[in-house]
A and B are shown apart, each in its own frame.
Chain A
Amino acid sequence: MREPARPKNAAGSRTSRFRNSSILPGFWPAFSYTILYLSLIVLIPLSAVFLKSVSSSPEHFWKTISSPQVVASYRLSFGASLVAGLVSVAIGFLVAWVLVRYEFPGKALADALVDLPFALPTAVAGIALTSLYTENGWLGRYLVPLGIKVAFTPLGVVVALTFIGLPFVVRSVQPVLADADQELEEAASSLGASRWQIFSRVIFPLVRPALLTGFALAFARALGEYGSVIFISGNLPMRTEITPVLIVTKLEQYDYAGATAIAVVMLVTSFLLLLGINAVQRRTRKYMEPV
């Protein structure tokens, strides 16, 4: 937001705050619209949440956000989202790689399948995953005897969140991989680099920003996910209750201030985390620029 019109020459723009170096005219209308849009759609609703949360006493606020049940839910929500984000990055990278670098029958179909979690109502995904993994489900009946319980455990939450997060990573990484010049890899190979070196020194740095973007999106989406998780988690207090469920429970009890207090904690924490991820990303991008 600090650099509204993204300058072509990043080094030059640091000196002044509003420099319009785009070749297209209309900086002010575009900038004003950006601010207006952000205010109406993002900032005003969110500040309403903040205002509501301070409508109660600071003690109530603190008591709400620090009660053992709520703290346990932060652990699950942030922990599971983090794990799901990381799993999505690993598997998503693999999927993107296969979709970009290999030819196989049914590739177009597989490519389209990736987007399906975007379109599917999350409740449907949650119900489907739950019936798959319960004791008498198609997968559950083989997993449970092995001691692997997925439905109604934190693992189930991770599974649901990974399902939701995977397309974000695939779709962020795929175009970058497709654009990556294979000649770079050939050059590295001709200079004697091992396969591991080619991956870690050539390919990985290329896709790192995209992976980070994918991770940030998958993680953020996972944090806010409600529909699919409530079915597979079992919602047991202290054990498998995610934070959004607690917010809804507070609302059911007419405790609007309490609900918004928890929402504020989630918002602030998510915002800080995303800000951090973006900062890392900016660094990697800058590092890429001279190429």
Chain B
Amino acid sequence: MKLKSLSIPVLAATALAAAGPVKLLNVSYDPTRELYQDINAAFAKQWKAKTGVVVEIDQSHDGSGKQARAVIDGLQADVVTLGLAYDIDVISEKAGLLAKNWQTRLPNNSAPYTSTVVFLVRKGNPKHIKDWDDLVKPGVAVITPNPKSSGGARWSYLAAWGYALKHNNNDQNKAREFVTKLYKNVPVLDSGARGSTTTFAQRGIGDVLLSWENEAYLALNELGKDKVEVVTPSISILAEPPVSVVDKIAAKHGTTEVAKAYLEFLYSEQGQEIAARNYYRPRLASVAAKHAAQFPKLGLFTIDELFGGWQKAQKKHFDDGGVFDKIYTPGA
């Protein structure tokens, strides 16, 4: 008697598991936490309506490079949505988990939304920081993480370099001088973007924080407009955080189809709307027009234009013995 009554729930549970929800793991970088909470809820609803299948999406967040390493080391990511293309390149290169040409598989370099690097300053902007030039002035303390460990910091570094190039007739030496001077004004190098935001916001260190645009607005909302201000420089870099299905892992889980749909959803009107509400610049013109007031106009250059892509930029600037290391090596 007892055995029978036990076996019924067990059977029921097995049946449920068979038709249970599809699970998807999205491995992302630090500041997208809020964005993907919204996206996941919206996509799950849409997918249920369209196919009748319940999809549960788990998110994992950390520094972009750290996340790429976790995937290489075996984290079962069906999709990756990271801070820079180089980190997904590395997953392809070191672990062979996705095709080399992954970045061409989705529109806009596989980056459904963009961002840029802006400045977060203290209320009233006491040091009068308006543009990149103001960052190298003596007595200005700049907070930015270590570009060797932080994806966001690499965008900031390259933005500064690009600004200097544009203002010095593409003179690489002048640009190097400018960036060296800038880093002499950096009192703390945290390992990641969130760490730097904490240093600036919570611990009150520094006059200006170089930050992702979306992260800057989040900080503004969190800290209040009576504490900090966002300053948009005249020009900056077009940051394109890319997304991709991790082919081999998705195939193993049988989630390729839903993973693809998930990423395509990011390009849809609804997905773009959610991105814009989370302070990411949308690609879709209609959504961009609607949110134009939210995103100040500024000159944007791409990494391909000025640096010949991530692979080259990484090698020249951030690899061991590269330009960034030399900034700190005396006599170099």
Contacts and interface: CB of A to CB of B under 8 A. Distances in A.
A249 B328 contact: no
Nearest to A245: B191
B69 A234 contact: no
Interface in B39-74: 63, 65-66, 69, 72
Contacts of B328: 69, 236-239
Interface stretch (A47-55, A128-136, A195-203): A128-136
B320 A248 contact: no
Interface size on B, as a range, is 20 to 34
B103 interface: no
B188 A238 contact: no
A234 B330 contact: no
Interface string A46-75: 000000000000000000100111000000
B133 interface: no
A252 to B, nearest CB: 4
Interface in B139-184: 146, 148-149
B205 interface: yes
Contact of A254 (B90, B325, B330): B90
A235 B90 CA distance: 26
B188 A152 contact: yes
A238 B69 contact: no
B205 A255 contact: no
B281 to A, nearest CB: 27
A77 B63 CA distance: 25
Contact of B189 (A236, A251, A252): A236
A152 B187 contact: yes
Contacts of B321: 67
B94 A249 contact: no
A238 B94 CA distance: 30
Nearest to A131: B203
Contacts of B148: 249, 252-253
A134 B206 CA distance: 11
A212 B189 CA distance: 36
A154 interface: no
Interface string A138-170: 000000000000001000000000000000000
14 contacts: A64-B320, A69-B328, A134-B205, A235-B188, A235-B189, A235-B191, A236-B188, A237-B329, A245-B191, A248-B191, A249-B146, A253-B149, A253-B320, A258-B320
Interface of A: 64, 67-69, 127, 130-131, 134-136, 152, 230, 234-239, 245, 248-249, 251-255, 258
